[in-house]
């Protein structure tokens, strides 16, 4: 992807305007009243947001014009669904929707092209994983696999991601005495990166969609490290109920991440 390309889809990105928050709110009110000119002005004023997001996908080898168009679809959906009565900035609401639209496009419409070097790293990583499981009797972290291969974590993650279907942070890796161990438990990200910042926004927006009991269960499970049995004892329900609530919450969150 040419991330320094000036003209994308006929749009000169160097001349894109930047709207202040007060301007955006004023335009949104007009848009909700059916003002098409305000809508066009608002879209153009938020194209820099789309541009910043698609640059996070610059390792996919995708055509930047295609990703820009898909990102714009996500932006328009965000405009159509934004609720003015909610106390939230438009960009906070729009970012996860734009990211979601791009991820769906990459998942559904684009076959993965994997280089020989990535395949080699991935298969070596899988071999090391099996070796570490045998020697330690537990699932290794990506960091442990990377250390064995004398590679950085990012290279291993990228290689493993390239040889399989896209996975969610909430996909279970394996079951441990009835408790699922999820991908998010295995991957340690650098928290000061733009990618992490975008993911954090998407995660927070997804959590807002859950009911209070679902939020409580996920908080106890993933933030406080409780097992399902411990959660069940703490809130006075069965382990089976905790499992159902957890699965339903994660299923709902996948729609927004």
Q: What is the mean pLDDT of the chain?
A: 75
Whole-angstrom Cα distance, residue 202 to residue 99?
8
Whole-angstrom Cα distance, residue 96 to residue 5?
24
Class at the top of the CATH hierarchy for domain 7-109: mainly alpha
Q: Count of H helices and E strands in the chain?
A: 13, 4
Residue extents of the structural domains in the chain = 7-109, 113-166, 172-180+198-257
Cα 254–178–144 angle (5° rounding)?
A: 70
pLDDT in tens, 31-43: 999 999 999 999 9
Do 113-166 and 172-180+198-257 agree at the fold level?
yes
Give residue 103's pLDDT.
Answer: 78
Least confident interval from 61-70, 194-203, 243-252: 194-203
Fold of 113-166: Arc Repressor Mutant, subunit A (1.10.10)
Architecture per CATH, 172-180+198-257: Orthogonal Bundle (1.10)
Whole-angstrom Cα distance, residue 183 to residue 180?
10
CB under 8 A, 24+ apart: contacts of 184-191: 184/222, 186/139, 186/141, 186/142, 187/141, 187/142, 187/157, 188/141, 188/142, 188/143, 188/153
pTM of the model: 0.45
pLDDT in tens, 45-70: 888 888 888 877 766 667 778 888 88
């Amino acid at each position: 992807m040419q991330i320094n390309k000036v003209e994308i889809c006929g749009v000169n990105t160097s001349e894109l305007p930047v709207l202040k928050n007060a301007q955006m709110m004023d335009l949104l009110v007009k848009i909700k009243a059916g003002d098409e000119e305000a809508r066009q002005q608002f879209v153009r004023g938020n194209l820099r947001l789309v541009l910043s997001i698609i640059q996070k996908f610059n390792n996919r080898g995708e055509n930047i014009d295609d990703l820009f168009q898909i990102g714009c679809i996500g932006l328009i959906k965000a405009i159509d669904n934004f609720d003015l009565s909610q106390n939230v900035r438009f960009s906070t609401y729009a970012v996860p929707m734009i990211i979601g639209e791009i991820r769906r496009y990459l998942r559904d419409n684009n076959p993965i092209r994997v280089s020989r070097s990535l395949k080699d790293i991935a298969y070596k990583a899988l071999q090391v994983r099996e070796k570490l499981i045998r020697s330690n009797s537990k699932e290794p972290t990506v960091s442990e696999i990377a250390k064995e291969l004398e590679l950085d974590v990012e290279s291993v993650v990228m290689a493993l991601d390239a040889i399989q279907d896209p996975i969610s942070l909430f996909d279970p890796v394996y079951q441990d005495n009835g408790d699922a161990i999820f991908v998010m438990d295995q991957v340690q990200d650098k928290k000061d990166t733009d990618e992490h910042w975008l993911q954090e926004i998407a995660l927070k927006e997804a959590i807002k969609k859950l009911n209070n009991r679902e939020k409580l269960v996920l908080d106890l499970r993933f933030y406080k490290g409780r097992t399902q049995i411990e959660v069940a004892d703490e809130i006075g329900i069965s382990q089976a109920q905790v499992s159902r609530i957890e699965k339903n919450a994660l299923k709902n969150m996948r729609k927004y991440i």
